Chains A and B, each alone.
Chain A
Amino acid sequence: MLSLFLGRLFGLIPLLLIVSFMTFGMLHMVPGDITDRILGTEATAEQYAELAEKLGLNDPFLVQYGRWLGGAVTGDLGTSAYNSQKVTDAVMDTLPVTLSLTAGGMLVAIIIGIPAGVYAGLHRGSSIDRAAVLIATIGQALPNFWVAMLLLVPFALWWQLVPATGFTPPTTSFTGWIASISLASIALGTSSSASLARQTRGAIIDVLKQDYIRTARAKGLPRRTITFKHALKNAAIPVITTIGFQVNALLGGALIVEQVFGLNGFGSLAIDSVRTQNIPMMQGVVIMGTLVIVSVNIIVDVAYGYVNPRVRTS
Chain B
Amino acid sequence: MAIGRCLQLGTARLLIAVLTVLLANGCDRPTTGAGVIRFATGTPLQSFDPHRSDSGPVHSTYLTLVYDGLTGANPDDLWNPLPSLAHSWHWVTDTSIEFELVTGATFTDGTRFDASVAKVNIERMLEVKGPRVNTVATVRSAEVIGPYTLRIHLHAPDPTLLQNLAGSPGMMVSPGAFDNPDLDLNPVGTGPFIYDKDNSTIGEVHRFVPRPDYFNDAIANDAPYEVHVLVNARARLNALISGQVDIANISPLEAAPAAQLGFAIEERANRWFGMTLLDRNGELVPELKDPRVRQALGFAVDRQALADALFFGYARPASQPMVKDVGYVPALDNFYRYDPDHARALLKAAGVSSFTFVTPVSPDASSEYEAVQHYLRQVGINMEIEVIEPGTIAALARTERYPVNTITFPNFGPDSRHPAIWETTAVFNPFRVPNPRLNELAAAARSSLDEKLRQRNYKEYFEIIVKDVHSLIYLQFADLVAYDAAKLRHVQVGPFIDPVLRNIRLAPTDDSAATMPKQQIDVAGAPDA
Interface residues of A (CB under 8 A from B): 30-33, 36-45, 47-48, 50, 82-85, 90, 93-94, 111, 115, 118-119, 122-123, 145, 148-150, 152-153, 155-167, 173, 175-176, 178-179, 182, 224, 227, 256, 259-262, 264, 268-269, 271-272, 275-277
Q: Determine whether the beta carbon of A41 is less than 8 Å from that of B394.
A: yes
Per-residue interface assignment for chain B, residues 174 to 187, with 1 indicating a CB less than 8 Å from any chain A CB and 0 otherwise: 00000001101100
Do residues B521 and A157 form an inter-chain contact, with CB atoms below 8 A?
yes
Judge whether B31 is part of the interface by a CB distance below 8 angstroms: no
Q: Is the interface of A mostly helix, strand, loop or mixed?
A: helix
Which chain A residues border B4 with CB–CB below 8 Å?
A: 119, 123
Chain A residues with CB under 8 A of B10: 111, 115
* B26 nearest CB neighbor, chain A only: A161
22 CB contacts below 8 A, A to B, read A40-B131, A85-B202, A90-B202, A145-B526, A149-B525, A152-B238, A153-B522, A161-B22, A161-B26, A162-B26, A164-B239, A164-B242, A165-B238, A166-B204, A175-B21, A175-B24, A176-B25, A224-B3, A259-B527, A260-B525, A272-B203, A276-B391
Partner of A40, one of B58, B232, B235, B241: B58
Q: Total A-B residue pairs with C-beta atoms closer than 8 Å?
A: 202
Within 8 A of A (CB), among B391-442: 391-392, 394-395, 398, 407, 409, 416, 420, 427-428
- B46 to chain A: closest residue by CB: A82
Encoded as 1 (CB less than 8 Å from any A CB) or 0, chain B from 5 to 26 comes to 0010011001000100111111
Is B331 close to A, CB under 8 A?
no
CB-CB under 8 A for A157 and B231, given A32-B389, A45-B427: no
Closest chain B residue to A45, Cβ basis? B427
Main secondary structure of the interface of B (DSSP, over half): loop
How distant is the Cα of A209 from the Cα of B133 in the complex, in angstroms? 77
Name B's A-contacting residues (CB within 8 A).
2-4, 7, 10-11, 14, 18, 21-26, 28-29, 44-48, 54, 56, 58, 129, 131-135, 181-182, 184-185, 201-205, 228-232, 234-236, 238-239, 241-244, 388-392, 394-395, 398, 407, 409, 416, 420, 427-428, 518, 520-527
B235-A262 in contact (CB<8A):
yes
- Given the complex, which residues of A lie within 8 Å of B241, measured CB to CB? 157, 164
Closest 5 CB pairs of A and B: A262-B235, A32-B392, A179-B25, A264-B204, A164-B242
Contacts of B23 in A (CB 8 A): 161
Partner of A175, one of B25, B48, B243: B25
Contacts A42-B416, A165-B230, A260-B525; A160 near B56 (Cβ below 8 A)? no
Beyond known contacts A32-B395, A42-B56, A164-B235: 9 more, CB 8 A cutoff: A39-B54, A41-B407, A43-B54, A43-B132, A93-B203, A111-B14, A153-B522, A153-B524, A165-B235
Contacts of B58 in A (CB 8 A): 40
Known: A82-B46, A160-B242, A268-B231. A148 touches B525 (CB 8 A): yes
